Amino acid sequence: MTDPMVLLYAEASPFARKVRIVAAEVGISLSLTAVHASPLAGRTDVTQVNPLGKIPALVVPEIGVLYDSSVICRYLGQETDLYPAGSEGWRALRREALADGLMEAALLARYETTLRPEALRWQDWIDGQVSKIRNALVAMEAEISPSGTFDIGNIATACALGYLDFRFAALDWRKSHPGLADFAATLHQRPSVRESAPS
Ligand SMILES: N[C@@H](CCC(=O)N[C@@H](CS)C(=O)NCC(=O)O)C(=O)O
């Protein structure tokens, strides 16, 4: 029996959550190693594995390290229903990119308010990221995928909305997007989504 692949992750990371959900959906068991990743110089555990210092990173014996959640998810989920063929597949990838973009904007806004010294914080920057989040929510609601399908777009969407619940409760996104809230509740019924939620 070969050793499981090692995933460098943090429980709160929405990008790492995508990978954990994909692995659970396709039945691949990963060895999880919790690490600290930070954009601040000298404060990350990950640089020796990923030159960008970011998580998730997956150590794959025959390839080396894979990074960026979309690459890792693609590697684990290739040739499964998580990546549909044809136009449906391109739409799923677009929904993944949209959700990833929302998470990136949310993370940048969070770093600005939690990491940057208070005197240096820039409200226009925070407002710009929050407006990307709001625009992404509008697009997400318009693109809710048909019921019954569960693909990489839905996985990323579940992680993005879960991250807003976890770190941006004050945005109260459910109030302005009730259709998306219903969709999120459906996604949350899936064991892989429920069991990977940050606590
Ligand atoms: N595009 C990357 C984003 C990953 C990312 O930003 N991860 C965060 C944790 S949730 C991180 O490692 N931040 C540290 C940093 O920005 O240097 C992906 O999809 O994997």
Q: Which three-class secondary structure state does DSSP give residue 33?
A: strand
Span from the CA of 1 to the centroid of ligand 1 (angstroms): 32
- Statement: residue 20 has pLDDT above 70: yes
Atom of ligand 1 nearest to the CA of 39: 17
Whether residue 114 is contained in a domain is answered as yes
- In CATH, what number is assigned to the domain containing residue 33? 3.40.30.10
State pLDDT tens for residues 39-88. Answer: 998 888 898 899 999 999 999 999 999 999 999 999 999 999 999 999 99
Average pLDDT of the chain, as a whole number: 95
Test site for ligand 1: of 7, 15, 65, most ligand atoms within 8 A of the Cβ: 15
Total number of domains in the chain: 2
Q: By C-alpha distance, which of 135, 55, 60 is closest to 101?
A: 135
Same domain, 72 and 115: no
**Residue 53 beta carbon below 6 angstroms from any ligand 1 atom:** yes
Q: State the residue range of the domain holding 143.
A: 86-190
Q: Which pLDDT belongs to residue 15?
A: 98
Q: Which pLDDT belongs to residue 117?
A: 94
Atom of ligand 1 nearest to the CA of 46: 12
State pLDDT tens for residues 148-193. Answer: 789 999 999 999 999 999 999 999 999 999 999 999 999 999 999 9
**Residue 68 beta carbon below 6 angstroms from any ligand 1 atom:** yes
Ranges assigned E (strand) in the chain: 6-9, 31-34, 57-60, 64-67
Span from the CA of 65 to the centroid of ligand 1 (angstroms): 15
Going by pLDDT thresholds of 50, 70 and 90, the confidence category of residue 7 is very high
Whether residue 44 is contained in a domain is answered as yes
Pairing of strands 64-67, 31-34: unpaired
